[in-house]
Structure 1
Amino acid sequence: MFGIDRLRRRLSPKAMMVLAVPLVGVASVAVAAQIASPGSVEVASLLKTRLPKTPLTKVDCEKVKGLCEVTAGANLFYVDTKARYLIIGRVYDMETRQDLTAARLLEINPDMLVGGAAKANAAAAEGDEESPISPTKGRVEKASLPVRPATLSLDGLPKDGAIVWGNPAGQTVTVFTDFRCGYCRALTNVLRSMNVRVVERPISVLGSRDIADRVYCAKNREEALHAAYAGEPFKGGASCDTSGLDANEAFAHKHGLTGTPVIVRSDGAVLEGYRPKEFLLSWFKDARS
């Protein structure tokens, strides 16, 4: 069980997810924090006195109304606008269905596993009575991925098996996904906000072939695809030829694509795992014509 859970058990039932941070003496700390607004300046100043052992990297009170996002090295946490309550955990945007914390952690370090970051935050939370977050404690775990080719040719894939959606005139990006993969869902939501043409090829890494069959056979595949990711009911339509999905599976097996999502740029460059919008915008621009 993560250290965060053990930390929560120490709290009174009324405290639950929110930690009251005690006021401590002022200490001289060099804080090179990036400040996004006047409110962020006030919060950063308060945090310097309340968490003097925590070197802050950035304070942003503009992203989430009522909360300030605080970056301390590889760690991420939140405080209220008066810096009285400190919150350790995930922030989800239920309207866009995005994990804002996961996206931010990957911005801090694109090679970092979000689960590893959570463990690092938890370890830091356990180890310092004065400062719930201590970047010097806890270990950030790096993604350990199999060696893959830098590029991947999609010439061996038939036209069938693809669910095409997005902007028909936009840059084409191919993604291998699984309908039970949370990071695939998050990536799909990001791609929906971008001016790209998505060629989505479902593969059953997590036992989602039944869902893929229903989506592929739906009258409106794009609508069914987004409904499936959102966990909403959709009409799968009558049975149809799903041999294209078999081809996706065979291609993934042949090229060692054992995890999802896998993103293939128009020039064949491969990127494994979820990435936030800002990263993808830059990566797509680097495509060779």
Structure 2
Amino acid sequence: MLRRTILFASCAIPLLGGGAGALAYAAGDHDDLITRALAARLPKTPLTAIDCAKIAGLCEVQAGSNLFYTDRAGRFLMIGRVYDMETRQDLTAARLLEISPETLVGGAAKPMTAAQDDPSLSSPGPQRPAGPINKVSLANLPASGAISWGSGSRAVTVFSDFRCGYCGELHKALAGMRVKVLERPISLLGTRSISDAVICSDDQADAAARAYRQEPLGQVKKCDTSGLDANEEFARQHGFGGTPVIVRDDGAVVHGFRPRAFLEAWLREAQ
């Protein structure tokens, strides 16, 4: 029998082990196992709530204003949107709106139309922003934590993780645009060693591109990586529980991947 929910445009990633971390969560006793597993494997991710009852076979994990999914063992991390094919609704977008009504979610909360029986036909977002966007100031972040690449009169900062599939797709989209990119790696998926290697490379931009392609980075040098510490602290302070997070040069923020058409329109609207 066809399952009525589908995880669309997602990546399933085995969670790597790590040290224990503190977290705040709202879960019943039956979810203690997954809570402990996620706390150990994602020590730098501020988990807020875990719900294994809403969607059969999946546990919804809230990290601040962001969502991801895992199995009941807390082994596989699934990043993407869950669609209910009976009601033709984007369950992830609906939950994101519940968690943070002011957050731009690309209009995906609207039910799919009859012409969109295949969720893969649905658009990742609108062609232009459709609501208020939070703003942050990047003024106090050190330049040493940013990888600069691309060129153009417009600028955008991206908080990313080198093992995040959507971050890789965003990297490709931005590479085809006339825009200066300041990429600030944060380690949400246990990738700090990769970020260190990229930051310490002689050619950071090339190293970042190779990291997204999961190519070897060669001999790893040692250097000052305190800029990465600053990135991660900034992300924690501002509730960046997922990647990518895109920040325009006027401080406007969008959480999650957006296609090139959206980015072009959004960047033109910088104030």
TM-score of the two chains, using structure 2 as the length reference: 0.56
CA distance in 1, matches of 2:219, 2:203: 9
Corresponding residue for 1:3?
3
Residues 229, 242 of structure 1: alpha-carbon distance in 2 compared, 3 angstrom cutoff: same
Structure 1 SS opposite 2:231: helix
Corresponding residue for 1:155?
139
Which residue identity does 1:190 align to in structure 2?
A
* 1:170 positional shift: 3.1
* 1:114 positional shift: 4.8
From 116, 125, 140, the equivalent of 2:90 is 140
CA distance in 1, matches of 2:2, 2:186: 31
CA distance in 2, matches of 1:5, 1:272: 23
Partners of 1:219 and 1:236 within 8 A in 2:
no
* 1:278 positional shift: 0.4
CA RMSD, Structure 1 to Structure 2 (Å): 2.5
Percent identical pairs in the alignment equals: 47
From 228, 239, 242, the equivalent of 1:256 is 239
* 1:159 positional shift: 1.3
Give CA deviations for 1:193-212 in whole Å, capped at 9, x if unaligned.
00000000000111110110
5+ residue gaps, structure 2, are 7-78, 104-132
Give CA deviations for 1:226-260 in whole Å, capped at 9, x if unaligned.
01001112225411110110111111111111111
CA distance in 1, matches of 2:2, 2:139: 44
Give 1:1-289 correspondences, 5 Å limit: 3=3, 114-116=80-82, 119-120=83-84, 123=85, 137-143=87-93, 144-145=95-96, 146-147=99-100, 150-167=134-151, 169-288=152-271
CA distance in 2, matches of 1:142, 1:170: 35
Give CA deviations for 1:20-68 in whole Å, capped at 9, x if unaligned.
xxxxxxxxxxxxxxxxxxxxxxxxxxxxxxxxxxxxxxxxxxxxxxxxx
Which residue identity does 1:141 align to in structure 2?
L
Question: Which consecutive segments of 4 or more residues in structure 1 shift more than 3 A?
Answer: 144-149
Give CA deviations for 1:136-168 in whole Å, capped at 9, x if unaligned.
x4432242345477111011211111000011x
Partners of 1:170 and 1:196 within 8 A in 2:
yes
Corresponding residue for 1:38?
none
Residues 114, 208 of structure 1: alpha-carbon distance in 2 compared, 3 angstrom cutoff: closer
CA distance in 2, matches of 1:255, 1:271: 13
Partners of 1:224 and 1:235 within 8 A in 2:
no
CA distance in 1, matches of 2:222, 2:2: 44
Count of aligned pairs between the two proteins? 165
**Higher RCO, 1 or 2 (CA under 8 Å, sep at least 6)?**
2
Larger radius of gyration: 1
CA distance in 2, matches of 1:160, 1:205: 19
Residues 257, 236 of structure 1: alpha-carbon distance in 2 compared, 3 angstrom cutoff: farther
CA distance in 1, matches of 2:166, 2:232: 19
Corresponding residue for 2:10?
none
Residues 179, 185 of structure 1: alpha-carbon distance in 2 compared, 3 angstrom cutoff: same
Partners of 1:224 and 1:236 within 8 A in 2:
no
